[in-house]
Amino acid sequence: MSTNFGATLRRRVTLPVAFGLVGDKRFALLDDVLARDAWSPAQVRNHQAERLSHLFRVCRDHNPYWSARFEAFGVNPDGSDPFAELAKLPILTKDEMRENWKQMRSTHLSDSDMVHETSSGSTGMQINFFQSNYYRQLHAAMEYRSRAWMGVHPGEPYLSIQAHGAHMTRKTKLLRNARKWMENGFILDAFHIDPAVVRAQLEAAQRINPVHVHGYTTSCVTVAEIARDAGLTDWPSVRAVSTTSEQQTEEHRKILGETFGADVYDRYGSREVLSISMQCAQGKHHIYEDVNIIEFAPLSEVGDDLSAIIATPLDNEAMPLFRYRSGDEAAAIDGACTCGRTLRLMTGCRGRICNNFITPDGRIINGTYFLYYFYYQEGFKSYQFHQTAEDHIDLYVVPDGTLSQERHDYLKQCCQKIRDDSDGQFEVKLHLVDEIPKRKGGKHLYTISDVLRHI
């Protein structure tokens, strides 16, 4: 069976049937989201108005938290101009979400209709929230839409540089492995990059002829540098490289493009608000306005050229977020893009910096690895991992009130787990502090390495 025929069979039959059997509607939604690329600005605006009005009514009828907020700020869910009603609400802060996330859940969806998630805490503190199954499946379709912008289609082989799966639930890991098998994918562990092992894995990955390389920014760059040093720069099948989760610089783009011989793209979203923007072939970041309303609020403390991203996702009925400030910054760009898409433009998200760590024996640990220790955890306001020497990491934690013995024991277990994962190469020391100093510009860094430069 030819490679093209196999990919077509997977795209049109295997994947839609497989996801449909487990109740996942991503392929049923795919044609609709792909068609939205041809919408005019008026069509996008009308769709936003319809979704926003619907979300207001859902909250009025099924969300006591937002219903009370509407009354307090004079929001009319049946108002003729939903955008004017939205503007009456104040910006939703992380502190407000942290304090009220359980009350912010809508009552008309059951536990089986939604997923409990948590943010990474990369901006200083974690947030718990709920997302409906529909919302997550819609944005799985949006991921395929982003790939279509790069000329990549479902079912085509890929090289993914991502989380190793140790922190995943059994179901999530099973689905990921099933998808990898169905799509003929190849996964490299982004969290523990051993150059000798990666070289052999890259040789194996070349044999599946991947058309798409994607993953965490600094992990992709690290792998690209290993490939370049080993002379593994022959990737004729690769059409696109895309990164997410961390800030992408021009130097990153240069290394990735030269190594894999393909155009490089940046996709931006957060755990709370999925699919915010995507870079087109012209290098412009387009805002996915059909699934979000994005505002830019001036931020004098970080410079006149930056604004706070204020997001209102339009499809998450489980826990609606109106005018949510995530902590990320960017700026709106005026004008149209020569790619022909009419979606508004913005700069790339700036400020998401991840420091990688290195073990004494030369293995590189992506900073995102450390976030997983604080997913779904309560009792902590903020944290920071700081590598001060090849064999030493300081973990700073700000407790949320009085730290219980159970929470203190959990932190000790985290320190031990990091030691075990590094085969005893890291000594991890815990520090309970009242405050973690922010860096220049007021940004909180959750990982700092004095040993390995930021790639």
Answer yes or no: is 408 within a domain: yes
State the first-to-last Cα distance of the chain, in angstroms, to the nearest integer. Answer: 41
pLDDT digits (tens, 9 = 90+) for 1-23: 456 777 888 888 889 998 899 89
Reduce the DSSP state of residue 53 to 3 states and report it. Answer: helix
pLDDT digits (tens, 9 = 90+) for 33-44: 999 999 999 999
Using DSSP bridges, classify how beta strands 332-333 and 345-346 pair: parallel, antiparallel or unpaired. antiparallel
For residue 387, the domain's CATH number is 3.30.300.30
Mean pLDDT of 337-359: 86
Task: Say yes or no: 289 and 397 in one domain.
Answer: no
125: confidence class by pLDDT, cuts 50, 70, 90: low
Q: Domain tally for the chain?
A: 2
Q: Is the pLDDT of residue 114 over 60?
A: yes
Q: Is the pLDDT of residue 303 over 70?
A: no
Q: Is the pLDDT of residue 367 over 90?
A: no
Answer yes or no: is 44 within a domain: yes
pLDDT of residue 351: 58
pLDDT digits (tens, 9 = 90+) for 408-451: 999 999 999 999 989 999 999 999 999 998 765 456 788 889 98
DSSP H helical ranges for 326-428: 368-371, 405-421
Task: Say yes or no: 244 and 380 in one domain.
Answer: no
pLDDT digits (tens, 9 = 90+) for 171-189: 777 777 777 888 889 999 8
Task: Say yes or no: 344 and 394 in one domain.
Answer: no
Q: Is the pLDDT of residue 301 over 60?
A: no
Mean pLDDT of 348-373: 82
Task: Say yes or no: 294 and 361 in one domain.
Answer: no
CA distances from 238 to 244, 249, 324 (A): 18, 21, 37
Q: Which of 286, 320, 350 corresponds to the end of one domain?
A: 350
pLDDT of residue 192: 84
Secondary structure element (H or E) that encloses residue 72, with its range: helix 64-73
Average pLDDT, the chain: 90
pLDDT of residue 69: 98
pLDDT of residue 172: 72
pLDDT of residue 438: 74
Nearest to 388, CA basis, from 434, 452, 435: 452
Answer yes or no: is 208 within a domain: yes
pLDDT of residue 440: 54
pTM: 0.88
- Taking each helix axis as running N to C, give the angle between helix 133-149 and helix 26-35, from 0 to 180 degrees, rounded to the nearest 10: 50
Task: Say yes or no: 3 and 132 in one domain.
Answer: yes
pLDDT of residue 454: 42
pLDDT of residue 122: 58
Task: Say yes or no: 171 and 295 in one domain.
Answer: yes
Mean pLDDT of 77-102: 95
Task: Say yes or no: 219 and 365 in one domain.
Answer: no
Q: Could you tell me which residues come within 8 angstroms of residue 198 by beta carbon, excluding any fewer than 6 positions away? A: 188, 223, 226
pLDDT of residue 74: 98
pLDDT digits (tens, 9 = 90+) for 239-292: 999 998 888 889 999 999 999 999 999 999 988 999 999 999 999 999 999 999
pLDDT of residue 393: 96
Q: Which of 333, 350, 367 corresponds to the end of one domain?
A: 350
Using DSSP bridges, classify how beta strands 158-162 and 212-216 pair: parallel, antiparallel or unpaired. parallel
Angle at 199 between CA 195 and CA 200, to 5 degrees: 125
Task: Say yes or no: 429 and 283 in one domain.
Answer: no
For residues 140 and 306, which has the higher predicted lDDT (pLDDT)? 140
Task: Say yes or no: 381 and 296 in one domain.
Answer: no
Task: Say yes or no: 227 and 265 in one domain.
Answer: yes
Residue 156 domain boundaries? 1-350
Q: Which of 319, 350, 381 corresponds to the end of one domain?
A: 350
